[in-house]
Amino acid sequence: MLIQKSVCLRILTRSSYHASKIRAANFGTQAAASSLPEPYAPSSFRLNDNDEYAPVDWNNLGFGLMRTDYMYMMKCGNDEEFEFKQGEISPYGNVELSPSAGVLNYGQGLFEGTKAFRRVDGGIFLFRPEENAIRMQIGAERMCMPSPSVRQFVSAVKQTALANKRWIPPPGKGSLYIRPLLIGSGPVLGLAPASEYTFLVYASPVGNYFKEGTAPLNLYVEDEFHRAARGGAGGVKTITNYAPVLKAISKARDRGFSDVLYLDSVNKRNIEEVSSCNVFIVKGNTLSTPATNGTILKGITRKSVMEIAYILGYEVEERCISIEELMEADEVFCTGTAVGVAPVGSVTYKGSRIDYKLSSPLVSEKLYSRLIAIQNGVVPDTQRWMIQID
Ligand SMILES: *Cc1c(COP(=O)(O)O)cnc(C)c1O
């Protein structure tokens, strides 16, 4: 199994950097040195408890990477019997990897995405982070990696959010996107699981995922490339699922589409999902979304929206949805942590384009308003989805 005797090189943070270098590297031209927090010292790390904001144009946040102050790192190898024990917050910076690290050579890696929200009363909340933790555990099993416990995962996400508190956007301006990674960091030459694993968490403030903002998406239905196949790893958030669709995405973007909707690889007839979000159709009072049979990522937003829809009185179904049915739907929308609940304005398949009527109030708008209201604490969190962390 994972037990290997080879000695492994370790990922190192640039903790030997002089503090001023870290500050210069982290902030570039964004901030004056005088407004920065004190350099980090591992033994005396204190969470940043002043409410000062980072120097960001909060009104124009997109979904780009912005360097923040800190990241979290935890490692385990055969010395630890492949059990994660203790991690720590360190300054955000580059990591050092062996050229033969499992992740670099064979793509042994997983990612997650979750968000921290700042409320009007100043409270900082996470949305269902334990769901991400469980999904990482399931993915790790599939990718032959040890994984952090749910408690370790949630604690790391919490610490990363709080250490970067000044980067959490003001209420209503966006959120802090938190990106946990689990990678095979130990060296391997022959194809095998790595001898050491690293769990990393970093964060970046974000606004809207698509450059369209909240405008409806124009999806291109791809009938040449597939995202995932039966027996593959489409159902887990492995990094290996994403580079192969870049070509389909860029082809679609070049033609003015927002993103790509993939079809099942067997019949090329049933819809699966979009590159980084799940898809729903609405017909009458019924919401339907493709059933997850290993080729579709089980989105946490998907699951949450299904629950919200049910509570709001819609019929909710998980089943096969053909391309024809998609084209005849009343409404189509996408869900994901990054995109939220995004209405689809048009779908183009084999040269024909269907435009959906976008008369307010859309079902997707109702669902998204409710989700946002739960996240912002405007309606009672009867599902206990939110965790206050400050
Ligand atoms: C992350 C992701 C989603 C959305 O999952 P959420 O948990 O809702 O963020 C959907 N599809 C793919 C391919 C993804 O990578």
Q: What are 20-39's pLDDT values in tens digits?
A: 333 333 333 333 333 333 33
In a domain? residue 226: yes
Residues 226 and 99 in one domain: no
Instruction: Tell how far the Cα of 339 is from the centroid of ligand 1, in angstroms.
Output: 9
pLDDT at residue 2 above 50? no
Q: How far is the CA of 274 from the centre of ligand 1 (A)?
A: 9
User: For residues 239 and 41, which has the higher predicted lDDT (pLDDT)?
Assistant: 239
Structural domain of 38: 34-206
User: Does the C-beta of 299 come closer than 6 Å to ligand 1?
Assistant: yes
Q: Is the pLDDT of residue 329 over 50?
A: yes
* Cα distances (angstroms) measured from residue 18 to each of 23, 39, 48, 91, 154: 9, 9, 20, 11, 30
Q: What is the pTM of this model?
A: 0.87
Please indicate, yes or no, whether residues 137 and 77 belong to a single structural domain of this protein.
yes
Query: Are 223 and 199 contained in the same domain?
Result: no
Say yes or no: 284 and 187 in one domain: no
User: pLDDT above 90 covers what percent of the chain?
Assistant: 83
Decide which of 273 and 8 is more confident: 273
Q: Using 50, 70 and 90 to split pLDDT, how confident is the model at 208?
A: confident
Query: Is 386 inside a domain boundary?
Result: no
Verify whether ligand 1 is closer than 6 Å to residue 73 (CB atom).
Answer: no
Beta bridge partners of 200: 73, 181
Query: Is 301 near ligand 1, meaning CB less than 6 Å away?
Result: yes
Mutate to test the pocket of ligand 1, among 135, 261, 297, 307 (most ligand atoms within 8 A of CB): 297
383 within some domain: no
From 77, 84, 113, 79, select the one nearest 98 (Cα to Cα).
77
| Pocket probe mutation, ligand 1, options 277, 305, 371, max atoms within 8 Å of Cβ | 277
CA distance 360 to 181: 39
End-to-end Cα spacing for the chain = 40
Q: Does residue 302 have its Cβ closer than 6 Å to ligand 1?
A: yes
Instruction: Look up 237 and say whether it is catalytic.
Output: yes
- Which atom of ligand 1 is least distant from the CA of 135? 7
My answer on whether 125 and 233 are in the same domain is no
Asked whether residue 13 falls in the same domain as residue 136, the answer is: no
- Among protein residues, the one with the nearest Cα to ligand 1's atom 1 is 276
Helices (H), the chain: 19-27, 102-106, 129-142, 150-163, 246-254, 300-311, 323-327, 363-376
Q: What mean pLDDT comes out for the span 210-221?
A: 86
Cα of 326 vs centre of ligand 1, distance in Å, is 20
Decide if 50 is inside a domain.
yes
Closest-CA residue, ligand 1 atom 15, reads 276
Do 156 and 273 lie in one domain? The reply is no
With a 6 Å cutoff on the Cβ, whether 113 touches ligand 1 is yes
Last residue of a domain, one of 174, 190, 206: 206
Give residue 76 CA to ligand 1 midpoint distance, Å. Answer: 27
Same domain (yes/no): 145, 255: no
* pLDDT tens profile 371-390: 999 999 999 999 999 999 99
Partners of residue 317 on adjacent β-strands: 288
> For residue 224, with 0-12 CB atoms within 10 Å meaning exposed, 13-18 middle and 19 or more buried, which class applies?
exposed
Enter the tokens of residue 73: 């790192």
Same domain, 12 and 149: no
Instruction: Let me know if residue 384 belongs to a domain.
Output: no
Number of domains the chain is built from: 2
Collapse the DSSP code of 15 into the 3-class scheme (helix H, G, I; strand E, B; otherwise coil) and give the result.
coil
Query: Does ligand 1 come within 6 angstroms of the Cβ of 276?
Result: yes
Q: Are residues 38 and 133 in the same domain?
A: yes
Which residues, listed in sequence order, are joined to residue 183 by a DSSP beta bridge?
A: 109, 198
Where is the domain boundary, 178, 206, 234?
A: 206
Pocket residue to mutate for ligand 1, from 114, 249, 337, most atoms within 8 A of Cβ: 337
> What is the pLDDT, as a whole number, of residue 50?
53
Q: Is residue 8 part of a domain?
A: yes
> Are the C-beta atoms of residues 48 and 166 closer than 8 Å to each other?
yes
Would you call 128 helix, strand, or coil by DSSP?
A: coil
For residue 387, being part of any structural domain is answered with no
Cα–Cα dist 324/312, whole Å: 27
Structure tokens belonging to residue 13 = 């943070």
d(CA 344, CA 357): 10
Domain boundary among 185, 206, 227: 206
Does residue 180 have a cis peptide bond before it, meaning omega lies within 30 degrees of 0?
no
Distance CA 303, CA 132 (A): 12
Ligand 1: centre distance to CA 191 (Å): 28
Tell me, yes or no, whether 359 and 220 share the same domain: yes
Q: Ligand 1 mean position to 127 CA, how many Å?
A: 14
| Beta-bridge mates of residue 281 | 288, 332
**pLDDT surpasses 70 at 18:** no
- The CATH number of residue 286's host domain is 3.20.10.10
| CATH code of residue 128 | 3.30.470.10
- Per-residue model confidence as pLDDT tens digits over 118-172: 999 999 999 999 999 999 999 999 999 999 999 999 999 999 999 999 999 999 9
Catalytic residue among 75, 158, 165, 237: 237
Residue 341 lies in a domain: yes
In this model, does residue 359 exceed pLDDT 90?
Answer: no
| Ligand 1 within 6 A of CB of 139 | no
**Do residues 313 and 217 share a domain?**
yes
Position 239 scores a pLDDT of 98
How many whole angstroms separate alpha carbon 16 and alpha carbon 22? 10
How confident is the model over 294-307, as a mean pLDDT?
98
What is the secondary structure of 162-183 as a DSSP string? Answer: HHTGGGSPPTTS-EEEEEEEEE
